[in-house]
């Protein structure tokens, strides 16, 4: 892959409630092998449940030469309060990831790579492959599906059977749609690296077959303008301009007494993808790989938390595919999306569309606009 020749500022952003020693060890070795080719910084966001040992691990990493930004919860709260949004990011939530995105934005990073603390980079080209989001227009292997949907897990050698990534609409899971593959020009602004080991599938799939990924069968696939696929927050690179449309929505909204969770990154991935398509940009899947050494989960609780989002996603995606967005920047387009989203859910019908779930979408749209306000307000504090 042809990448920019000058050094670039790359931020690796993650949240954690562990000490993350294994995470730091994996990146320490990789960054050391990069020999200063780019400025690579770790932006690691703690929460109230994060042990004090985490901050000691950060200090040890700095002593080894890593650039690490690890604000305390109090420092995070002071930042948000200073920007007039003290309640934007709740505690004890993976929504804290937004603070990492904000800090990367404020520092002027050329791109950020969103990862989880159980995602371990695979191969020496991890950072170079993610630089595709700032490479500009060039030729890729593009994929176009007759249905408008394509399964990125088709790129993986996975057992015991075919799987679909978390967030792939159930209405399009079978039979597999015919797809064509051809070279084509694209300007990639989102790069979704895939995984070895435990793939990012939903709890339904994990409970049923417990899949494992053994290898990547092809290095890349770039979505054609009319073809869609889910983008998550595990091993995903975002161009600086697109960060405005990559707010990580707040979960925990209750539907029939059950808290909705585990789909924030799926909503954010589809929204940034919609904005990218409107602006003539593209989404790439494939390299670099990350080994997903998945943290322990109670799968039945995961299933309960995912079901409300799964239930509304098919309707939302039908609308999103046909939405006519406005704007010439990611910020303008994202604001347009937020307003249209609120109007759209008022017209959606069916047993799933309770006032509670419409309320969830309205809250999310409001917070999307608040995110844009915070980014605008941070300009004076940037860099």
Mean pLDDT of all residues in 368-374: 98
pLDDT digits (tens, 9 = 90+) for 1-44: 444 446 799 999 999 999 999 999 999 989 988 756 789 999 99
Cα–Cα distances in angstroms (integers) from residue 136 to residues 4, 101, 110, 277, in the given order: 9, 22, 13, 15
Report the share of the chain in percent with pLDDT over 90.
87
Identify the pLDDT of residue 379. 84
Identify the pLDDT of residue 383. 56
Identify the pLDDT of residue 210. 95
Contacts of 74 (CB under 8 A, 6+ apart): none
Identify the pLDDT of residue 59. 97
Contacts of 209 (CB under 8 A, 6+ apart): 160, 161, 163
Q: pLDDT band at 382, cuts 50/70/90?
A: low
* Span between the terminal Cα atoms of the chain, in Å: 30
Joined together, the tokens standing for residue 296 give 């322990």
pLDDT digits (tens, 9 = 90+) for 289-309: 999 987 788 999 999 999 999
For 17-75, the three-class secondary structure string (H helix, E strand, C coil) is CCCCHHHHHHHHHHHHHCCCCCEEEEEEECCCCCCCHHHHHHHHHHHCCCEEECCCHHH
pLDDT digits (tens, 9 = 90+) for 59-86: 999 999 999 999 999 999 999 999 999 9
pLDDT digits (tens, 9 = 90+) for 138-160: 999 999 999 999 999 999 999 99
φ, ψ of residue 286 to 5 degrees: the values are 135, -120
> Contact at 8 Å (CB) between 357 and 255?
yes
Strands 39-45 and 67-69: parallel
The CA distance from 25 to 22, in Å, is 5
φ, ψ of residue 29 to 5 degrees: the values are -65, -40
> Contact at 8 Å (CB) between 188 and 135?
yes
Q: Give 221's strand partners.
A: 285
SS3 state of residue 95? helix
φ, ψ of residue 145 to 5 degrees: the values are -110, 140
> Contact at 8 Å (CB) between 270 and 259?
no
Going by the DSSP 8-state scheme, the letter that residue 178 receives in this structure is P
Domain ranges of the chain: 9-381
How many alpha carbons lie under 13 Å from residue 270 in its C-beta half-sphere?
Answer: 25
Identify the pLDDT of residue 257. 80
Mean pLDDT of all residues in 240-246: 98
Identify the pLDDT of residue 2. 44
Joined together, the tokens standing for residue 273 give 């993808």
Report the share of the chain in percent with pLDDT over 70.
97
Where is 14: in which H helix or E strand?
strand 9-15
What is the pLDDT of the chain when averaged over all its residues?
A: 94
Mean pLDDT of all residues in 220-234: 97
Nearest one of 92, 93, 133 to 112, comparing CA atoms: 133
Q: Give 45's strand partners.
A: 15
Q: How many CB atoms lie within 10 A of CB 54?
A: 20
pLDDT digits (tens, 9 = 90+) for 345-365: 999 999 999 999 999 999 999
Identify the pLDDT of residue 33. 81
pLDDT digits (tens, 9 = 90+) for 160-202: 999 999 999 999 998 877 899 999 999 999 999 999 999 999 9
Give me the CATH topology for the region 9-381: Spore Coat Polysaccharide Biosynthesis Protein SpsA; Chain A (3.90.550)
Mean pLDDT of all residues in 84-112: 97
> Contact at 8 Å (CB) between 236 and 97?
no
Mean pLDDT of all residues in 218-247: 97
The CA distance from 58 to 227, in Å, is 41
């Amino acid at each position: 892959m042809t990448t920019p020749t000058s050094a670039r500022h790359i931020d690796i952003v993650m949240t954690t409630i562990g000490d993350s020693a294994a995470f730091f060890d994996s990146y320490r070795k990789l960054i050391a092998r990069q020999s200063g080719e780019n400025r690579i910084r770790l932006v690691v966001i703690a929460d109230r449940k994060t042990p004090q040992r985490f901050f000691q691990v950060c200090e040890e990493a700095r002593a080894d030469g890593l650039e690490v930004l690890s604000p305390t919860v109090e420092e995070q709260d002071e930042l948000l309060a200073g920007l007039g949004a003290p309640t934007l990011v709740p505690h004890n939530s993976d929504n804290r990831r937004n603070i990492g995105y904000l800090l990367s934005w404020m520092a002027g990073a050329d791109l950020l790579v969103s990862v989880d603390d159980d995602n371990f980079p695979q191969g020496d080209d991890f950072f170079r492959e993610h630089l595709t989001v700032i490479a500009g227009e060039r030729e890729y292997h593009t994929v176009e599906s007759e249905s408008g949907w394509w399964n990125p897990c088709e790129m993986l050698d996975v057992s015991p059977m075919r799987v679909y990534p978390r967030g792939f609409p159930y209405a399009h899971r079978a039979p597999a749609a015919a797809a064509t593959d051809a070279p084509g020009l694209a300007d990639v602004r989102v790069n979704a690296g895939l995984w070895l080991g435990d793939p990012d599938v939903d709890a339904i799939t994990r409970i049923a077959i417990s899949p494992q990924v053994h290898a990547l069968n092809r290095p890349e696939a770039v979505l054609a303008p009319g073809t869609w696929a889910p983008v998550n927050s595990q091993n995903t690179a975002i161009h600086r301009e697109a960060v405005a449309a990559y707010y990580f929505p707040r979960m925990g909204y209750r539907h029939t007494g059950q808290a909705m969770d585990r789909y924030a990154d799926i909503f954010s991935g589809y929204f940034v993808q919609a904005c990218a398509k409107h602006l003539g940009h593209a989404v790439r899947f494939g390299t670099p790989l990350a080994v997903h050494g998945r943290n322990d989960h109670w799968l039945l609780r995961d299933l309960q938390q995912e079901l409300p989002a799964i239930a509304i996603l098919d309707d939302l995606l039908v609308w999103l595919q046909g939405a006519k967005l406005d704007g010439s920047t990611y910020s303008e387009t994202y604001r347009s999306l937020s307003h249209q989203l609120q109007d759209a859910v008022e017209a959606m019908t069916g047993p799933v569309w309770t006032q509670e779930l419409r309320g969830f979408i309205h809250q999310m749209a409001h917070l999307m606009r608040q995110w844009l306000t915070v980014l605008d307000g941070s300009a004076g504090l940037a860099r």
